[in-house]
Amino acid sequence: MEIEAIGAAAALAGAALLGGAAAYVWMRRRERRSRVLFEISMMLHSTLRRRDQMEMIMDSAKQVLPVEAASVLLVDQQSGELFFEVAQGEKGEEVREIRLAPGEGISGHVARTGESVIVNNAASDPRWSNRVAERTGFETRNLLTVPIMKQGSVEGVLQVINKRRGRKFTQRDRQLLEQVAKPMAVALENARLYEQLEQSMEALQKTTAVKERLESELQIAGNIQLSFLPRTMPSAHEPYDVCALLKSAKDVGGDFYNFFKLDDDRLFFTLGDVSDKGIPAALFMAVTLTLIKGKMNPGLTPGQLLRMVNEELCRDNPVLFATIVCGIFDTKTGEVILSEGGHCTPYVVRSDGSVEPVKLRKSLPLGAMEGIDYYDGRLVLSPGERIVVYTDGITEAENGALEQYSGERLQEFLKMTPGMSSAELIDALLMHVFMFADGAPQSDDIAVLSLLRRL
Amino acid sequence: MNITTNEHGDITVMAIEGRLDGQHAQAAEQAFLALAAQEGKNRFVLDFAQMAYISSAGLRVVLVAAKKVKAAQGRLVCAGMNDQVRDVFEMSGFISILETAANREEAIAMLQG
């Protein structure tokens, strides 16, 4: 260690000048100081927190230089002010809140000049600022102030106050304190790097947490969405074959469907699309489906139901809306009563393979505007015929050339489906859409429902 | 998406060009609401002549605008829809609550009349 080597060399030189017991005492003292300086330099590796390092360094310094108080002031690089990084002594707490203007007081003088200053009679020194003394009531008799230098510029000052037993600060004290201040500059630099590291770690942790939260939100939204869909398809013994499928794009969307029996002869079905994605859409979907199921009763037509549900939804002034189609299928007669709100055109596939768009009187999506009416339309399915409802994720599926799958392609496809079960139709349709997209990513949710009146 | 606005007397024309989809809906909504917040403005034309595509999120922007103008007892005319954009407004039912015009000039004339 360089510091120790210097100390040892100085000790030998000193011993040559003196003699006997005096030389022994002098050497012991030199050795103790050297050891403390060595310890200080070692401490730099024991902790990386700036304040801890400073405190430890000053504690050690006080072993060889007994004083009543010690403090480290750092230069605020923006304002040039000095602020107390560490203040030891009985008034430390009060002192820490004080900031010194550039050049103010002895600390300011040292910070400005980079030269150490010994003041053995504080009260009579013109540079002495009594601001700190007044604030704290701490009486300063004498003080020693040295700069903390890094590559020629002053980072701060180290100051010790009131040497114990009424003694004066000496040039040797100054040299010692300058030696103590040296590793402080290194400590400051280390601490600064460490703080930067900590900050980037913290930023990384936050980013990761946000990402995880978003991912888990999407998962929650997905679970909400799925939990509201019917889990089992009706049995093969029913006079109808209904099947539906929801395929979300990367984000969780708000497409939905449901079907349930109203009584022995009637099946209710619905399918829709919320105008957004993620948690808000999933919740809006959940509310909509809950209202539909809760409000529906065998005495209502689909149009009456939608009006009631819409009034309920609009009460909360929603920022979302949902396009919807819903219907009641009479399993005995094959009659279907349908109503819609802003949804894309359903199709009927006749048993000869002809495809008919279902012309319904249009209304607005649910939640868009209160007080509006929803209208009922009527059609009849013969055995072997079906109705297909879907969301615009099908017709607006795009290929690489940004062409859309479109209603025309959907109609062409449906012409090929007589004889297929509902599950087969849905499988084939998805395949058809994905072949068309030809690797272009699915940008919107897809939902489709097929209801076949069995032969 | 690109938005340009200009004034014809006390009529404000806001042209939305390109794709009005989920990615741009919020910017478009804020642009309109900022206009509508200005003192004395309650007659608007939304010019869709250069609109390539509108999604359901885009429809919501138009809905918000229509409600805002209605609340301010003003008028809003949607102008210059191409066939594809008109299809979306028809399919969604929104066409029934909107005033439309073939182009910007016709829309301004409607509001002046």
How confident is the model at residue A251, as a pLDDT?
Answer: 61
Highest mean pLDDT, choosing among A45-54, A83-92, A158-167, A414-423: A414-423
Q: pLDDT, tens digit, for every residue of A147-192? A: 988 877 888 898 888 888 888 899 988 988 888 888 777 777 777 7
Q: What part of A 262-281 touches B (C-beta under 8 Å)?
A: 273, 275-277
pLDDT exceeds 60 at position A14: no
The pLDDT score that the predictor gives to residue A48 is: 62
Does residue A4 register a pLDDT over 50? no
Q: Does B63 touch chain A (CB under 8 A)?
A: yes
Nearest-by-CA chain A residue for B87:
A344
Average pLDDT of chain A is 84
Find tokens 């030189």 and name the residue: A13
As given in the structure block, the two tokens for residue B98 are: 């909107």
Residue A11 has pLDDT above 60, yes or no: no
Give the pLDDT of residue A257. 94
Tens of pLDDT along A152-161? Answer: 788 889 888 8
Phi, psi dihedrals of residue A171, rounded to the nearest 5°: -60, -35
Of A183-192, A267-276, A362-371, B53-62, where does mean pLDDT reach its minimum? Answer: A183-192
In 3D space, the residue among A402, A445, A448, A447 whose CA is nearest the CA of residue A276 turns out to be: A445
Partners of residue B22 in chain A, C-beta under 8 Å = 276-277
Q: Do B63 and A321 touch (CB under 8 A)?
A: yes
- The most confident of the ranges A107-111, A263-267, A374-378, A400-404 is A374-378
| Residues A97, A120: Cα–Cα separation, whole Å | 26
pLDDT at A49 over 90: no
Chain B partners of A365 at a C-beta cutoff of 8 Å?
Answer: 92-93
Nearest by Cα to A296 from A286, A310, A287, A306: A306
- Would you state the structure tokens that stand for residue A231, as one six-digit string? 């889990």
**Subunit contact B22:A273, Cβ cutoff 8 A:** no
| Residue of B109 and A46 predicted with greater confidence | B109
The interaxial angle of helices A50-64 and A20-43, nearest 10 deg, is 180
Q: In what order do the strands lie in the sheet with A117-119?
A: A99-100, A82-88, A67-75, A153-163, A143-150, A117-119
Give the CATH number of the domain where residue B78 resides: 3.30.750.24
Contact B22 A276 (CB under 8 A): yes
Q: Give the closest of A273, A276, A364 to B93, CB-based.
A: A364
pLDDT, average across residues A388-417 = 94
Q: Is the pLDDT of residue A388 over 70?
A: yes
Best CA proximity match to B51, nearest among B9, B3, B113, B12: B3
Distance of residue A389 Cα from the nearest chain B Cα, in angstroms = 14
Cα-to-chain-centroid distance, residue A188: 31
- List CB contacts of A274: < 8 A, sequence separation 6 or more: A253, A254, A255, A256, A281, A284, A285, A288, A320, A321, A322
Among left, alpha and beta (phi > 0; psi -120 to 50; other), residue A146 is beta
Which of A250, A274, A275, A325 to mutate to probe the B interface, most B CBs <10 Å? A275
Judge whether A321 is closer than 8 Å to chain B, CB to CB. Answer: yes
**What is the number of domains present in chain B?**
1
Q: How many CA atoms lie within 13 A of A223 on its CB side?
A: 6
Q: Which residues of B are less than 8 Å from A362 in CB distance?
A: 90-91, 93, 96
With CB atoms and an 8 Å threshold, state whether B92 touches A369.
Answer: no
* Closest chain A residue to B95, measured at CA: A364
Cα within 13 Å of Cα(A397), Cβ side: 30
Q: Length of chain A, please?
A: 455
Distance between CA atoms of A301 and A298, rounded to whole angstroms?
8
Asked if A362 and B90 come within 8 Å (Cβ–Cβ), the reply is yes
B56 and A CB contact within 8 Å: yes
| Most confidently modeled range among A92-96, A252-256, A346-350 | A346-350
* pLDDT at site A418: 94
Q: Which residue has the higher pLDDT, A253 or A293?
A: A293
pLDDT over 60 at A6, yes or no: no
Per-residue pLDDT band at B100 (split at 50, 70, 90)? very high
Taking the whole predicted model, whether its pTM rises above 0.80 is answered as no
DSSP 8-state class, residue B41:
-
Which of A314, A340, A369 should one mutate to test binding to chain B, selecting the residue with the greatest count of B CBs within 10 A? A369
Q: Hey, what are A373's tokens?
A: 């009416």
Give me the half-sphere count of Cα atoms (radius 13 Å) on the Cβ side of residue A54.
23
**For residue range B30-46, what is the model confidence (pLDDT) as tens digits?**
999 999 999 889 999 99
Confidence of residue A2 (pLDDT cuts 50, 70, 90): very low
Q: Do A362 and B59 touch (CB under 8 A)?
A: no
Q: Which percentage of chain A shows pLDDT scores above 70?
A: 90
Whether A142 contacts A95, CB under 8 Å: no
The predicted structure's pLDDT at residue A394: 94
Neighbouring residues of A240: CB distance < 8 A, sequence distance ≥ 6: A234, A267, A329, A331, A451, A452, A453, A454
B109 touches chain A (CB under 8 A): no
Map A324-393 to HEC letters: EEEEEEECCCCEEEEEEECCCCCEEECCCCCEEECCCCCCCCECCCCCCCCCEEEEECCCCCEEEEECHH
B residues 25..54 contacting A (CB < 8 A): none
Query: According to the model, what pLDDT value does residue A198 have?
Result: 79
Q: Which residues contact B103 (CB under 8 A, 6 or more apart)?
A: B49, B79, B80
Query: Which of A103, A139, A145, A107 minimizes the C-alpha distance to A123?
Result: A139
Q: Tell me: the pLDDT tens digits for A97-156?
A: 778 888 888 888 898 898 999 988 877 877 777 777 777 777 888 889 999 888 778 888
Tens of pLDDT, residues A210-223: 877 777 777 777 77
- Could you tell me the pLDDT band of residue B3, with boundaries at 50, 70 and 90? very high
Q: pLDDT band at residue A435, thresholds of 50, 70 and 90?
A: very high
Look at residue A218 in the predicted model and tell me its pLDDT.
74
Question: A369 contacts in B (CB within 8 Å)?
Answer: 63, 67, 97
Domain containing B88: what range? 2-112
Cβ–Cβ below 8 Å for B91 and A319: no
Query: Residue A453 CA to chain centroid, in angstroms?
Result: 51
Query: What is the token pair recorded at A425?
Result: 């139709």
Question: Could you tell me how many CB contacts below 8 A there are between chain A and chain B?
Answer: 44
Helices A20-43, A2-17: axis angle to 10 degrees equals 170
pLDDT band at A46 (very low <50, low <70, confident <90, very high): low
pLDDT for A339-382, tens place per residue?
999 999 999 999 999 999 999 999 999 999 999 999 999 999 99
Q: Does A324 contact B at CB distance below 8 Å?
A: no
Residues 6+ apart with CB under 8 A from A366: A272, A288, A306, A309, A310, A313, A321, A322, A323, A324, A341
pLDDT-based confidence at residue B62 (cuts at 50, 70, 90): very high
pLDDT band at A3 (very low <50, low <70, confident <90, very high): very low
For helices A20-43 and A171-227, give the axis angle rounded to 10 degrees: 20
Residue A310: name the closest of A319, A322, A300 by CA: A322
Checking if the pLDDT of A262 tops 70, the result is yes
| Predicted pLDDT at A165 | 85
- The whole-number pLDDT of residue A232 equals 74
Instruction: Calculate the average pLDDT of chain B.
Output: 93
d(CA A350, CA A373) in angstroms, rounded, equals 30
When mean pLDDT is compared across A200-204, A429-433, B83-87, the lowest value belongs to A200-204
Instruction: Search chain A and give the residue with CA nearest B98.
Output: A364
8 A C-beta contact, residue A93 and residue A86: no
Question: Which tokens is A122 given?
Answer: 């504080």
Domains and CATH numbers, chain A: 64-217 (3.30.450.40), 228-453 (3.60.40.10)
CA distance A38 to A52: 18
Higher pLDDT residue, A34 or A343?
A: A343
Secondary structure of residue A126 in the 3-state scheme = coil
Q: Which of these, A113, A114, A131, lies nearest to A122 by C-alpha position?
A: A131
Distance CA A447, CA A249 (A): 11
DSSP state of A88: E
Contact B92 A364 (CB under 8 A): yes
Residue B93 to residue A369, Cβ atoms within 8 A: no
Identify all chain B residues contacting A320, using CB atoms and an 8 Å cutoff: 60
Q: Least CB-CB distance to A276: which of B57, B63, B93?
A: B57
For the record, the structure tokens of B26 come out as 């919020």
How would residue A47 be classed by pLDDT, with cut points 50, 70 and 90? low
How much is the average pLDDT of A267-286? 87
> Does A48 lie at the interface with B, CB-CB under 8 angstroms?
no
Is residue B54 scored above 80 in pLDDT? yes
pLDDT number for residue A384:
96
Q: If pLDDT is split at 50, 70 and 90, which confidence band does B104 have?
A: very high
Residue A95 CA to residue A98 CA, distance in Å, equals: 6
Min Cα–Cα distance to chain B from A45, Å? 51
In chain B, residues with a C-beta closer than 8 Å to the C-beta of A343 are 91
Cβ distance A362 to B91 less than 8 Å, yes or no, reads yes
Please state the rounded mean pLDDT for residues A263-290.
88
How far is CA A122 from its chain centroid?
A: 54
Minimal-distance CA residue of chain A relative to B62? A368
> Is the Cβ of A319 closer than 8 Å to some Cβ of chain B?
yes
Measured CA to CA, the distance from residue A83 to residue A89 in angstroms comes to 16
d(CA B111, CA B100) in angstroms, rounded, equals 11
The pLDDT of residue A31 is 74
DSSP notation for B52-113:
EEE-HHHHHHHHHHHHHHHHTT-EEEEE---HHHHHHHHHTTGGGG-EEESSHHHHHHHHH-
ipTM of this predicted complex? 0.88
Q: How close is the nearest chain B Cα to the Cα of A396, in Å?
A: 10
Nearest CA in chain A to B22: A276
Report how far residue B5's alpha carbon sits from residue A454's, in angstroms, rounded to the nearest whole number.
Answer: 57
Give the confidence band of B16 by pLDDT, cuts at 50, 70, 90.
Answer: very high
**pLDDT over 50 at A230, yes or no:** yes
Beta carbons of B93 and A321 less than 8 Å apart? no
Is residue B6 pLDDT above 70, yes or no? yes
